[in-house]
Amino acid sequence: MKSTFLACLVAVLLSSCNVNEFSPNQKFNADSPTDVNAKEISTLPEKVAGSAIRIAVSGDTQRKYNEAQLFVDHINSRNDIDFVILNGDISDFGLLLEFQGIYKIYSGLRVPFISVIGNHDQLANGYDVYKRMFGQTNFTFNYGGVKFVCHDSNSREHGFDGTIPDLAWLRDNLKMENGINNIVALSHVPPTDGDFDKNLEQPYEDLFNTTPGMLASIHSHQHSPDVIYRKNDTGIPFIITNAIVNRAYTIIDISNGQLHAQAEGF
């Protein structure tokens, strides 16, 4: 009788454990995908260096599941997008359930999507959830002769301790490689924002402005119409895109070593 009870108890625990969100501290469950960015990057179609590239960029889904679904439907109605960048703030409170909800919607895209970490994604256990689900917070990938340098620029969540953004990592990765003609940086918080470490603003902008082949640095975070600025009106463009919560995104066109940004709605 005792062994039967224990067997039933174990069966119940095994059937319920790691299945449903039972705590805001939960970092994964049986439905949690892993290494999403690497898997999505591996599905990028081959593109010859120098070919025209078109990317849809927007951040800040933040519990706006209806808007996220409308965005996915909109992108799927087009046939001219190479891939999508979800540029941070996938979640609002850093909860596993939020990440999974957005992933489920974005996995319906007919093109690959790559996700950058945002400041809200580092609340609660969001930092660990993001890394397990999507991968490293600083990473690069190459496509069509362009190197995309994705990185964490959410300084406030690291106490403005001088480590984020990681300038040493950026210096090592903002380099040309064989078959690479240009570089584009992607991160959530722009360097002019109050959530960016002010002590790193100038060296960060200077690094990007002195990197050969650098086309632009693309950000989100501010939930407002697109802004493009150049330090002292010279150098590369720093592009701050609008947000999914506002039913807006930005088309980034890259061709012949030139980059053009165009605000879009859905």
Query: For residue range 97-119, what is the model confidence (pLDDT) as tens digits?
Result: 999 999 999 999 999 999 999 99
Cβ 54 vs Cβ 251: under 8 Å: yes
- Strand pairing partners for 237? none
Nearest by Cα to 140 from 105, 180, 97: 180
Residue range 18-67, pLDDT digits in tens: 445 457 788 988 889 999 999 999 999 989 988 999 999 999 999 999 99
Q: pLDDT per residue over 173-216, tens digit each?
A: 999 999 999 999 999 999 999 999 999 999 999 999 999 999 99
The pTM for the full model equals 0.90
CA atoms of 202 and 191, how far apart (whole Å): 8
As to burial, measured by CB atoms within 10 angstroms (0-12 exposed, 13-18 middle, 19+ buried), residue 19 is exposed
- Which pLDDT score is estimated for 219? 98
Phi/psi of residue 78, nearest 5 degrees: -95, 160
Residue 17 has a pLDDT of 43
**113-116 and 146-150 as β-strands: parallel, antiparallel, unpaired?**
unpaired
Q: How many CA atoms lie within 13 Å of 14's alpha carbon, on the beta-carbon side?
A: 6
Domain ranges of the chain: 52-265
Tell me which of 3.60.21.10, 3.20.20.80, 3.90.1150.10, 3.40.190.10 is the CATH number of domain 52-265.
3.60.21.10
How far is it, in rounded angstroms, from Cα 62 to Cα 247? 12
Q: Is 165 exposed, middle or buried (0-12, 13-18, 19+ CB in 10 A)?
A: buried
Residue 14 has pLDDT above 90, yes or no: no
The per-residue pLDDT for 31 is 86
Percent residues over pLDDT 70 in the chain: 92
Cα gap 107→105, rounded to integer Å: 5
